[in-house]
Amino acid sequence: MKVNLGLINQFSSQTLLPARQPDQYFELYSVPAFSNQKPELLPGAEIGSIKQFVEPNDILICKINPRINRVWQVMPKGQVEQIASSEWIVMRSTGLSSDFLQYYFSSPAFRDLLCRVVTGVGGSLSRAQPKRVAAFPVLIAPLNEQKRIADKIRTILTRIDTCRERLDRVITLGKQLRQAILSAAISGRLTEKWRGKNRSDWTLERAAAVCEKVQNGGTPREGFVAQSKIPFLKVYNIVNQAVDFNYKPQFIAQSAHEKALRKSQTLPGDVLMNIVGPPLGKVAIVPDTYPEWNINQALTLFRPGKRITTGWLYYLLCKGDNLDAIIHETRGSAGQLNISLSQCRNFLFPVPPMAEQQEIVRRVNALFAYVDAVEARCQTARAQLDRLPAATLDRAFRGELVPQNPDDEPALLLLKRLQAAQTEPAAKPKSPKPNKKTKMTELSPETVLESIRLLPDEQFTFDELRSQIAADYDTLKEVVFTLLLEKQPALKQVFDPERQAMKFIRVKP
């Protein structure tokens, strides 16, 4: 059975301003800390706005951009008070399994409900409204069944994480295997039985001696055109050690190709390497999609000569031994790494006989194809695994994950106890009681605007506005966001770099 969240939520907001206790430490559950799954331990002096007290096993549902699935369970308490930012909706129910609630609020079905009731223009400005969330349904199953469901989900998610880690290791091993294959190929070990142990016919030569051409490119002052016969390659067109001209394709005019960029005319079968990074080491063979190409100054072409093949040259550059030898000599500014054309021309290449080059390339191609197939299967499995957590939660809350037990206490009796608990007197608040003379202001956009006009400064923070208005935090925030989203807003939001905080500015009519 299902019941509205607000009818069973025992949480009663009790707030504090940590800055008033500057030397006291707090365990803060902030939205930025969620990605690390570890609350921040901070002194009150470093916590700038009003927070709410929370307790172990409270479930925190993030109001900001609820498309990002952020649901957090408060951990066991240590030596300091536990607090949370106001961007969390807090769910507390001592009669329900906290693990069950955490999984339920993380489910795709509940996430869809949150996304339907957001206000704001999108991204970090979109927020779920607590009053509407209080009307959302919460699944009430017998308590023992809740525990069985939570245990089953935890077991499955743990297995998914284990499988994901193993697949990631296989993908990492694939990269290492490629380097091992290249090492065996370039050292001659890969074809030792084919050739014999004698390597006397191998030579070590400069790139300029065995390549017909080693040349970097340039960028024409004029000559870029929407379409022509001459495609123009940049570093971003090398993806996964291959040319990808579908991404931001550019063309140059035939005149620029034949005059200003004549020296960097590029042909199919040339091997390209970037000489500006990071990262260095991008390598690709120019395909025969076009009969001629051209390149910019961040790329160097290596055109095979009569004693070296395209495939052998490509794998030599992919291995990167020459880059490793000169990496300490690279120069540049602001983190940039540059290799000179003269350094490229002085690369030292081992040069086996042509027949052995061709045999090595054939074997490397075959081995790489096998590694590619394994990696493709791992990527497919990884994509399927990434869909399993949501599918598991869906099954769980459709009642399909664990069998029901007729001996369990009926959910209706559990619900009656929860509702009875709601009628019990609330616990004594931890924060000081408000002054009896202070009255909560009836909020409307008009009353908030009037209070804004009474503020002494054009710029102000949300906390400064709240100090002017004795109002509920969430209600005031909703009114402020309503004012920001009006067609002719009376205030706008800006970032104050000095205080590293968001501020509001009055807009004159």
Looking at every residue in the chain, the average pLDDT score rounds to: 88
User: What is the chain's Cα-based Rg?
Assistant: 33
Over the range 11-21, which residues count as b (16 or more CB within 10 Å of their CB) and which as e?
beeeebebeee
Enclosing H/E stretch for 40: strand 40-43
At residue 331, the pLDDT reads 67
Helices (H), 73-138: 98-106, 108-116, 130-133
Q: Are 45 and 19 in contact (CB under 8 A)?
A: yes
Say yes or no to pLDDT of 120 above 80.
Answer: no
Whole-angstrom Cα distance, residue 461 to residue 316? 60
Say yes or no to pLDDT of 365 above 80.
Answer: yes
pTM attached to this predicted model: 0.69
Whole-angstrom Cα distance, residue 220 to residue 10? 69
Over the range 97-136, which residues count as b (16 or more CB within 10 Å of their CB) and which as e?
bbbbbbbbbbbeebbebbeeebebeeeeebbbbbeebeeb
Say yes or no to pLDDT of 468 above 80.
Answer: no
Residue 304: asked if its preceding bond is cis (omega within 30°), the reply is no
Q: Are 243 and 294 in contact (CB under 8 A)?
A: no
At residue 433, the pLDDT reads 44
Which one is predicted more confidently, 67 or 358?
358
Number of H helices, E strands in the chain: 16, 30
Which one is predicted more confidently, 188 or 456?
188
The one-letter code for the residue type at 117 is V
State pLDDT tens for residues 255-267.
999 999 999 999 9
Whole-angstrom Cα distance, residue 275 to residue 272? 10
DSSP-assigned states of every residue in 337-384: EE--HHHHHT-EEEE--HHHHHHHHHHHHHHHHHHHHHHHHHHHHHHH
Give the mean pLDDT of 240-251. 94
Give the mean pLDDT of 72-78. 95
Other Cβ atoms less than 10 A from the Cβ of 147: the count is 15
Say yes or no to pLDDT of 437 above 60.
Answer: no
Say yes or no to pLDDT of 438 above 70.
Answer: no
Say yes or no to pLDDT of 440 above 60.
Answer: no
* pLDDT tier at 335, thresholds 50, 70, 90: low
Q: Which residues contact 409 (CB under 8 A, 6 or more apart)?
A: 142, 143, 144
At residue 443, the pLDDT reads 64
Say yes or no to pLDDT of 122 above 80.
Answer: no
Give the mean pLDDT of 74-97. 93
Over the range 375-391, which residues count as b (16 or more CB within 10 Å of their CB) and which as e?
beebeeeeeeeeeebee
Q: Which of 9-23, 185-199, 495-509 has the lowest mean pLDDT?
A: 495-509
At residue 2, the pLDDT reads 85
At residue 233, the pLDDT reads 97
Strand residue runs (E) in 290-338: 293-295, 299-304, 337-338
Give the single-character DSSP code of 19.
G
Give the mean pLDDT of 220-244. 90
Whole-angstrom Cα distance, residue 143 to residue 409? 8
State pLDDT tens for residues 36-64.
999 999 999 999 888 999 999 999 999 88
Say yes or no to pLDDT of 487 above 80.
Answer: no
Other Cβ atoms less than 10 A from the Cβ of 222: the count is 10
Give the single-character DSSP code of 100.
H
Give the mean pLDDT of 321-343. 82
* pLDDT tier at 497, thresholds 50, 70, 90: low
Whole-angstrom Cα distance, residue 26 to residue 201? 73
Report the SS3 class of residue 31. Answer: coil
Give the mean pLDDT of 426-434. 47
At residue 422, the pLDDT reads 67
